[in-house]
Structure 1
Amino acid sequence: MTDTATIHDTMTRAVDAALDALVAAGTLPAEISRANVAVEPPRDPSHGDLATNAAMVLAKPAKTNPRALAEALVAELSNHPAVAEASIAGPGFINLRLAGDAWIGELGAIAGLGDAYGRSAMGAGQTVNVEYVSANPTGPMHMGHCRGAVVGDALAGLLEFAGFAVIKEYYVNDAGAQVQTLARSVHLRYREALGETVEIPEGFYPGDYLIPIGKALAAEFGDTYKDAPESEWLTLFRTRAVAAMMDMIRDDLATLGIHHDLFSSEAELQAAGKPEAAEALLREKGLVYDGLLEAPKGKTPEDWEPVELPLFRSTQFGDDQDRPIKKSDGSWTYFGADLAYHYQKAQGADALIDIWGADHAGTVKRIKAAVAALTEGDAGGAKPFDVKLVQMVQLLRDGEPAKMSKRSGNFVTIADMVEEVGKDVVRFTMLTRKPEAQMDFDFAKVVEASKDNPVFYVQYAHARICSTLAKGAEAGFAPSTDHLGLLGEEEMDLIKVAAQFPRQVEAAARAREPHRIAFFLNDLAAAFHSYWNIGNDRIDKRFVVADNADMSGARLHLAAQVGQVIRNGLGILGVEAAEQL
């Protein structure tokens, strides 16, 4: 039976067992927490394969010297069969070099776990609500939404892989002035469908995507609402228009492989009295009061008058002024409705994550403060709430700004992008930089067959592996575990990179940073291509060696497991692994 314990599992248990031995010997008190003990690769690979900070973090509570504790730990760890060498660095860090058999064992773990290799129980089934995209339902999804959509979906996939229960949510902003404008724009298209010549006023939505909705309403209602007062058709047209837009948005997101679990309506939230409930709770806590709104910054408009409004005490949390949760006409501000929405989300999740555009950076502090105040009192205190900000993407074509879409009227749609370069290229490219960094998306470069194109580089590594396995089969060789002891230093180096995957998953999930998986895949692809290139110069280093069946079987097994890790990583990101290019 294949042992499916990973290197990370094995050595974490080894360190834990060594600490147990020191407790039994009276060197360590039994009650000391080991929560901050880590076993991970050192920053400098020349120091060893793994390192642990156990002596550094436990020495103070144990009232002992870190170096002395490290010496005791090294004595225990040196007896472990997977450890070739244990040494002390600096004031008490412990570096470990592992035996070759330990790395061979990792291939067994990858083969045994297959699609589950790298999965973690770190999340312990905690429910995390990830809200992303949440574009106003006024038109097709466009490039302004794409990066946040991909980051949010990849984060959801990452957290699920790391053992969390994930709710993927979309907040439908269907209660504001923008959907009233949408309804009026659709009414114009309805009149147009009835034969009237119309002009789209400035401020309305001009895109051709509203024409089919106007035609459908004309077919259903005839000229009933053609000359009717707005009060008779506005609600109906708004409801139909939003429904049609959400159908379009779901279809657009589906082209990227994105499917949300839950769509929450702002209009329904307000109809259910959720903002009033949130306001009442914040008043109880003394965080909402009736006060005068400060005058606008800079030159005060002549028609400005002070008005008393319910204000959230955001200055208590570092904001430069307290913020209104209602407008002077009694309707809710965006902030007022938003905090109520987050209060609702918190009822069904242990933690909340929002993916926002970078232009919303100024509201992060106040909404975090409001959510903390609203969720205080739950078991364990306020519920964790994180906001990830995503920078816009500049679209280029051969270095020049990309042309706009005819369907939308003034922007490039996600559907246009996916149709031209493919879902997988769009998704992976959006994760090749940290989301807070600016990004260029050049339609020509993202499909370029070059090592400078991360999408191609990683996909090419997997396609090469598939080709290698096929060529091995043609030569009569199959992946085999019978002679893995023949693998040498260069092969071990490749295994060591692949073996980082479980640790990378946990680190990326803990940091809420799915781009780390894309970075890791690029490193693994580089290691694979580097090994491949050795075979270009030396026939004996190729994966398939015609006169050596034993070595060929071992290397083909290695290639198959590297391919498995690449597939698992791409799967987290929602990208399919290419079998040929």
Structure 2
Amino acid sequence: MTLYTRFRKQLDAALDALVAAGTLPEGLARGAVTVEPPRDPAHGDLATNAAMVLAKPAATNPRALAEAIAEQLRLIDEVAKVDVAGPGFINLRLVPNIWSDELRTIAEEGGDYGRSDAGAGVSVNIEYVSANPTGPMHMGHCRGAVVGDALADLLEFAGNTVTREYYVNDAGGQVDTLARSAHLRYREALGEDIGEIPEGLYPGDYLIPVGTLLAETYGDRFVAAPEADWLAEFRTRTVAAMMDMIRADLALLGIRHDVFASEAELQAAGKPDDAEAWLRARDLVYDGVLEAPKGETPDDWEPVELPLFRSTRFGDDQDRPIKKSNGSWTYFGADLAYHYQKAQSSDELIDIWGADHAGTVKRIKAAVAALTEEKTRFDVKLVQMVRLLRAGEPIKMSKRSGNFVTLADVVGEVGKDVVRFTMLTRKADAQMDFDFAKVVEASRDNPVWYVQYAHARIASLHRKIAELGIALTAPDLSRLVEDELAVVRLAAQFPRIVEAAAAAREPHRIAFYLGDLAAAFHALWNVGNDDPARRMIVAADPMLTSTRLFMADQIGQVIRNGLALMGVEAAEELN
């Protein structure tokens, strides 16, 4: 239970007492009541909006209600002072040993500090990456991969049961193109001069090893054979090779998936037919004709009867076809069935998509609402593309031309931890620049370096103490002064930040918080540059040194825990 959760329970007890006394009516909704740090630390350690939220439904004056709540809160042993501010805000100052106790809690819980049961074991399926299996991972896939993986870690830490899923789009026309491209490389491997790669095929060199493997497997059997003889076989083998490559690329970022769901297998198993039958039985699919697209004249438009999903019943702009005129499934029809399949084994679904898929959000949300009878929570997190720069100059990418920056190249140049941390330094739907020079810069302006530097400074204390031969003692936490306790108070917010970030499905909040914690610790460290008595290590006072080391170690523990949620290892030293 976090410090803030504990005081929320004590606040609830205070409100219950006012209900029992007749000051408050029974049955008031308390969902909007919060206990959190005040915006200005000078106002206290905790603040609550209880009076402001409850006064109107209780038909009472918020200031008067705040005074009544404050009287109840003053009875709590851990509360040193309660003030009512403005129209009814309540600020609490806690007794100093609260923060000493929290430091000990961090020490005792270690890597589990901040772990929560708020998720109550609710199962969540997170689908992320799901890049078409037509080549290696490039930086266009990187941000969504990191956001999805960090979100999975965050939700697990917050008490959810998480399934990490990758949807393999291996049933569309792009995989036929991939197979034809591999056939060309197969012929090349057998000695044929294939010349320039024809327009429309994948030209990347990454298909050369695939062609070699196919040549070793089949010899010249399919060199002159008609496409119908080899297309399906080459498609299966090439997709498998691409997925092996993709898994290896993702492993460079420490990213794994529990499930790889195949679109081709989904269709072969008749899942779209099952979904259509389920929807038709509830009058949610009907045979109808779409309106002509905007700008089309009657001469340009031939109406065709298609099976349409009643998407408009669930907030979409229009009903959507689930099959094409030739009877094959539309992408939406297959995707609808895929989400139906996922919902069978999870309480909640989350999709991490590129921002270019924004136009399909409404229809998929409508489909999930229909197929789960609006019982399954479904979130789509849109992730903006990353603009690659080198010393401020843009780097252009074109996957079709075979000229693109691979994820492996980037990880090889700057490292996994730099890539992962950087991808979480902005909200997922905000634009991002990734400058190869900036992300490795030893500067306060580089949040990756700044947080790691805080942890490395803490680690250096142990080496320095050993060099000086200082005999450590039991810490006396009563010797911590106000600015030191301020950093402890910030560290104690970590469990609350975890729960809030998990509830909002926003892993970037962990990065923001770590930046604030690192800045506070650096500021405290720098005080010692002007006043030797305020340094972390005071050789003439082993107990004070032990006390400050204990405090610093717990700040370091919180930084490690936060970095772990981002999939980043904490640095012991920086070059």
Structure 1 length normalisation: TM-score? 0.94
* Aligned: 1:565 with 2:558: yes
Distance 1:263 1:50, change over 3 A: same
The DSSP-based 3-state class of the residue aligned with 1:369 is: helix
Report the Cα distance in structure 1 between the residues aligned to 2:362 and 2:397, rounded to whole angstroms.
Answer: 35
- Which residue does the alignment assign to 1:147? 143
User: Which of 386, 391, 394 is the matching residue for 1:398?
Assistant: 391
Residue number among 4, 16, 22 corresponding to 1:8 in the alignment: 4
Aligned residues with identical type, % of pairs: 72
Native 8 Å contact 1:479 1:557 kept in 2: no
Q: Does 1:124 align with 2:120?
A: yes
Aligned pairs for 1:218-367 (under 5 A) are 218-299=215-296, 304-367=301-364
CA distance in structure 1 between the aligned counterparts of 2:83 and 2:149, rounded to whole angstroms = 42
Partner of 2:99: 103
SS in 2 for 1:130: strand
For residue 471 of structure 1, report the CA deviation from its aligned partner.
Answer: 1.2
Contact 1:480 1:556 in 2 (8 A): no
Q: Deviations over 1:174-231 (max 9, x none)?
A: 1111111111111111111111111421111111111111111111111111111111
Residue of structure 1 aligned with 2:492, choices 499, 502, 519: 499
| 535-544 or 317-326: bigger deviation | 317-326
Matches of 1:36 and 1:161 in 2, distance apart?
24
SS in structure 2 opposite 1:576? Answer: coil
1:415 is the counterpart of 2:412: no
Q: CA deviation at 1:234?
A: 0.9
Match of 2:547 in 1: 554
Q: Distance in 2 between the 1:101 and 1:18 partners?
A: 22
In structure 1, how many angstroms separate the alpha carbons of the residues matched to 2:405 and 2:7?
A: 50
Shift of 1:318: 4.6
Q: Aligned to 2:202, what secondary structure does the other structure show?
A: coil
> In 1, distance between residues paired with 2:430 and 2:27?
44
Corresponding residue of 1:196? 192
User: How many residues end up aligned between the 2 structures?
Assistant: 573
Q: 2:442 maps to which residue?
A: 449
Q: CA deviation at 1:64?
A: 4.7
Aligned to 2:116, the other structure's residue is in SS state coil
Question: Which shows bigger deviation, 361-370 or 52-61?
Answer: 52-61
The answer to whether the aligner puts 1:37 opposite 2:41 as a matched pair is: no
Distance 1:29 1:86 in 2: 23
Letter in 2 for 1:415: A
Q: Does 1:207 align with 2:204?
A: yes
2-side partners of 1:22 and 1:389: how far apart?
45
Change (3 A) 1:473 1:81: farther
**Pair 1:195–1:304, CA change in 2 (3 A):** farther
Amino acid at match of 2:146: V
- Closer/same/farther in 2, CA of residues 553 and 266 from structure 1, 3 Å limit: same
Alpha-carbon distance change, 419 to 406 in structure 1, aligned in 2, over 3 angstroms: farther
TM-score, length of structure 2 as denominator length: 0.95
User: 1:130 and 1:101 mapped to 2: Cα distance?
Assistant: 41
Matches within 5 A, 1:485-496: 485-496=478-489
**Structure 2 residue aligned with 1:115:** 111
Counterpart of 2:510 in structure 1 is 517
SS of match in other structure, 2:490: helix
CA distance in 2, matches of 1:319, 1:14: 44
After superposition, the Cα gap between the structure-2 partners of 1:508 and 1:76, relative to the gap in structure 1 and judged at 3 Å, is same
Decide whether the 8 Å contact of 1:467 with 1:580 is kept in 2.
yes
Of 550-559 and 469-478, more deviation after overlay is shown by 469-478
Structure 1 position 60, deviation (Å)? 5.1
| Alpha-carbon shift at residue 513 of structure 1 (Å) | 0.5
* Rounded Cα–Cα distance in structure 1 between residues aligned with 2:121 and 2:31: 19
CA distance in 2, matches of 1:309, 1:180: 25
**Structure 1 residue 428: Cα displacement:** 0.3
Offset at residue 71 of structure 1 (A): 2.1
SS at match of 1:563: helix
* Distance in 1 (alpha carbons) for counterparts of 2:304 and 2:425: 48
Aligned-residue offset at 1:40: 1.0
Q: Which of 272-281 and 520-529 deviates more?
A: 272-281
Could you tell me which of 457, 466, 479 is aligned with 2:459? 466
CA contact (8 A) 1:159 1:509 kept: yes
Aligned CA distance change for structure 1 residues 532 and 36 (closer, same or farther; 3 Å): same
Residue of structure 2 equivalent to 1:383: 376
Q: CA deviation at 1:255?
A: 0.3
Give the Cα separation in 2 of the matches to 1:479 and 1:84: 32
Post-superposition CA distance 1:55-101 (Å, at most 9, x none) = 34444555554433322221121122221211223343321112221
Q: In terms of mean alpha carbon deviation, does 537-546 or 61-70 score higher?
A: 61-70
Q: Which amino acid aligns with 1:225?
A: F
CA gap of 1:530–1:447, structure 2 versus 1, over 3 A, is same
1:54 corresponds to 2:54: no
Q: Matched residue of 1:152: which SS?
A: helix
Q: Secondary structure at the match of 1:409?
A: coil
Cα 1:371–1:241, aligned 2, differ >3 Å: closer, same or farther? same
Distance 1:545 1:171, change over 3 A: same
Alpha-carbon distance change, 25 to 306 in structure 1, aligned in 2, over 3 angstroms: same
Q: CA deviation at 1:508?
A: 0.7
Question: How far did 1:507 drift?
Answer: 0.9
- Please say if 1:534 is aligned against 2:523: no
- Alignment match, 1:216: 213
